[in-house]
Structures are given as structure tokens and as C-alpha cells.
Structure 1
């Protein structure tokens, strides 16, 4: 098989499946290990994919954030699995922070605990929470047009008056080297503040966010737990390394 043909086949496979192992590519192209490694290095250099331990994965547009409608359509079953697992962690009487985002939005349908209070910066979250009879506090600040999230200095300041039993935080990327990231520095500040004010912190991440790096780092000074899906646990090729670095909990 010619080099150009191999490259095309590799890109098509990764675009369809998002993540593919080195061994799968060797079998698919009937090529040697060294040939595929060279192909992956060249394709990564050209910005066509991202190499990960044991294979390669689809490369996302890291500085452009999808809008809320687009996000809602992606990985729906996986997000519902994560959301259901997250909702089970809430206890009666908890005060929680519910970050803006599609996976945290999915959580609301699974919440049946009593006497809880929710603080959120997600404009889309307010009506579903109120419909369930949940007491809701909305942060202030600017409303971001793509994610309907409250952000900015006023939003961060409004959080400072609260303390949370649990925080459920969305994230755009988790990487072994660069940690937790999100495209917007203003949203990063909101996440950092909520994490700081919470006794327990759960970061909700589907399989597509692993080995991804966005623009703004989200730092934290105490332990967090990463809630993900069975698909991520079983299919991310370097998941063992993530488990060594992060507290990973995946699968119902």
C-alpha cells in the first residue's frame, strides 16, 4: 500500500472511531509497526491526529468551543450514563454546585433527593431544576452565547458567598501532562472557584475528552474524582496511566 493510501485510511478510520490502537492500524494497513509509527508521527506533525500511548486519536479544534446545541447531540447515551452515576452521589439536604454544560444538565432528570439547594451558572439548568421543585440560586455575570454559562468577574464574585457539599464540574479536556482544561479562561475561573468552595468535587468527562488539551488550565488544590463512562474505561488505550494520576470512577 502506498504511503498516501495508508495515510488516507488511517485518517478515515480515526475520524470514524475517534480513537484507534497501533495494533489495529497495523492489521488494517498490513504494515509493519515501524511504518505505522512513522505514519502517525508525520500525520501528527501535519495536524491530522494526536498520538496517544498505544495508538492515535481524532484531534479536536481546541480553541473553538462548540455551541450548546451541538454539544447536546454528541455522545448522548454516554452523558446520560455519567449523569446518572453523578446524581446518585447527592444526599438529602446537600447544597451543590452544578456547573454549566450538557452532562450536568442531564443530571437533573435523575435527581430525586429531598431538601437540596443548587447553585448554578448554567442558564439552561434553571427551568428543569425549578420544575422539579428544587431550590435554585443563579450566579450573576455575563452570559456566554455559546454555552449559556454565566462567566466573568461578577460571576466569580457571586460564588464567594456560598459553600458546597458537592460540586459537579464539566470539562473539555483531561490530559496526563496538561491536566484539566477548558477553552475559555473565564469559565476556568468559575470552575476553579467552585472547586475551591466545595467539600467534594466530581468532574464529569466522557471518552472524547481524554487526551485532549484546551486553551485554559483548571487548577485545584484538593482531591477530585473523575466520573466517566464504561466506554472510556474500556476503550481509552492509556486509561491505566490516567488511573494512576486521577481518581477515575467509570461505569454504572
Structure 2
């Protein structure tokens, strides 16, 4: 078996099961566990899966328990993100003070924004640079830089955002259920999400359909605390909720 074929089969098996152990993969492919471990290192470095103790898991599964880096997230559900963000960009008006959360989906939103009369505020250093490069009026909240998401957290961020009353805001999310609400894997970032939502009049969570029926580690809002703009294979039960807006690809 060629190396690339073997790597593809590993990715396919992990994707199908959600997780797979080194022992399972070695048995299925009839190769040594040491070879599987080397392959998992390569696939993890290429952001095709996430290597964990004793095996591997999908990027989506890993995203529930830790923040993926922006590089890891960029290729996930790209078409859905573009459709969601093309719609979301139309919601911004010339008089809006807009809050933009950190993360790859909200980063995609920046590509679709056209309203230059609005003012934009973000806790993401990379978002701010992208907005400035496109000529938008942007303010960056201060705070401690979190390298994985390139976002700012901590008491300085909280103090800075307390001055604002945003007219509209956009957030990413790691898990959504009616019972557990909107969830994220990291407590400091979840707190910033919660507080900025409390300071925003019109709240929109931008997410592909894979986040439904999943719960991450820290709740930052009730299920009905924001309009959820989504795309993809949305579970039927969510289509009945008034605050769920499904956009077409």
C-alpha cells in the first residue's frame, strides 16, 4: 500500500468513527503500531486530524474540548462559512457599532463586509489587522493575547469592553443545544463572549450545522440569547426554532 493511500484510509476511518485508537488502525491496515504513530504525527501536522493519547480524533471532535488554531480551522466547512457570512454581512448598517468575536467563521465574515460607515470593535488581533487592511474603522480591545485563537482575554479586556454598547455583534461557537445553550472550550474566552453578548442589542451566532447537538466545556449564553445563522445538514428539530436562520449554499 502506498503511503498516501494509507494516510487517506486513516483519515477516512477516523472521520467515520469520530475517534480511532492506534491498535484499531494498525489492525485495520495490517501494519505496525509504530508506523501508525508516525502517520498520525504527519496527519496532525497537516491538520487532517488531531492526534490524542493512544490514537486520533477528528478536528470537529477536538474542537469541543480545546480551541483549534486558526490554521487548523480554516479548511473546515469552508463553503458553509462563506454562505453564512455572505448573509450576515447584509445585516450591518451604516450607523452600527459592530462587535466581532474571534474565530475562523467571523474572520470569513470580514471578507464579505461592505459597510464602511459602520465602526467595528474586536478582541481578535488578526481580525483587526484584516479590517484595517480593507480600510474599515476598527478598534481593538486590550488584554492578554491568547495564541491559539489570536484573541484578547483577561481583566483588561473586560474593563475595555465595559464602555461599549454595541448595536450588533457576531460570535462563533463550539457547541449548541437547547438544554446547555451556547458553549466554548475555554473559560476566559467564554467570559468575553458572554459579556460582549450582554453589551449587544442584536446578537448573531454564526455556525455550520455540525455544532448542533454538541456541548463544549463552558456555557456563554442561553440557546435563545442570539439568532443562530447556520448552513449545512441542520437537524430537523432545530429548524422549528424561531431564532435559527438557515441559509442555502
Which interval holds the TM-score relative to the shorter structure?
0.7 to 0.9
Residue of structure 1 equivalent to 2:94: 92
Q: What CA RMSD, in Å, does the superposition of the two structures yield over aligned residues?
A: 2.6
Tell me the CA shift for residue 240 of structure 1: 3.4
2:242 matched to 1:240? Answer: no
* Distance of 2:72 and 2:173 partners within structure 1: 16
* Distance of 1:250 and 1:104 partners within structure 2: 17
Given that residues 118 and 136 in structure 1 are in contact (C-alpha distance below 8 angstroms), is that contact kept between their aligned partners in structure 2?
yes
Could you tell me which runs of 5 or more consecutive residues in structure 1 were left unpaired when the two chains were aligned: 1-11, 19-56
Tell me the CA shift for residue 163 of structure 1: 0.9
Match for residue 68 of structure 1 among 67, 70, 75: 70
* Distance of 1:221 and 1:60 partners within structure 2: 21
Given that residues 175 and 213 in structure 2 are in contact (C-alpha distance below 8 angstroms), is that contact kept between their aligned partners in structure 1?
yes
Residue of structure 1 equivalent to 2:158: 156
Given that residues 116 and 137 in structure 2 are in contact (C-alpha distance below 8 angstroms), is that contact kept between their aligned partners in structure 1?
no
Residue of structure 2 equivalent to 1:172: 174
Report SS of the residue matched to 2:160.
Answer: helix
Tell me the CA shift for residue 208 of structure 1: 1.7
> 1:115-154 alignment to 2 at 5 Å?
115-154=117-156
Given that residues 176 and 245 in structure 1 are in contact (C-alpha distance below 8 angstroms), is that contact kept between their aligned partners in structure 2?
no
Q: Decide which moves more: 106-115 or 239-248.
A: 239-248
Tell me the CA shift for residue 210 of structure 1: 1.2
Which runs of structure 1 show a deviation greater than 6 angstroms over 4 or more consecutive aligned residues? none
Residue of structure 2 equivalent to 1:193: 195
Given that residues 181 and 222 in structure 2 are in contact (C-alpha distance below 8 angstroms), is that contact kept between their aligned partners in structure 1?
no
Match for residue 227 of structure 2 among 225, 228, 233: 225
Instruction: With the length of structure 2 as denominator, give the TM-score of the two structures.
Output: 0.73
Tell me the CA shift for residue 16 of structure 1: 4.1
* Distance of 1:191 and 1:65 partners within structure 2: 14
Residue of structure 2 equivalent to 1:15: 15
Inter-CA distance 95–59: structure 2 relative to 1 (3 Å threshold): closer
Deviations, residues 25-53 of structure 1 (Å, cap 9, x unaligned): xxxxxxxxxxxxxxxxxxxxxxxxxxxxx
Tell me the CA shift for residue 177 of structure 1: 2.2
Deviations, residues 136-192 of structure 1 (Å, cap 9, x unaligned): 110111111111011112212210001111010111110232111000111111111
Report SS of the residue matched to 1:140.
Answer: coil
Could you tell me which runs of 5 or more consecutive residues in structure 2 were left unpaired when the two chains were aligned: 1-11, 19-57
Tell me the CA shift for residue 77 of structure 1: 1.2
Given that residues 15 and 58 in structure 1 are in contact (C-alpha distance below 8 angstroms), is that contact kept between their aligned partners in structure 2?
no
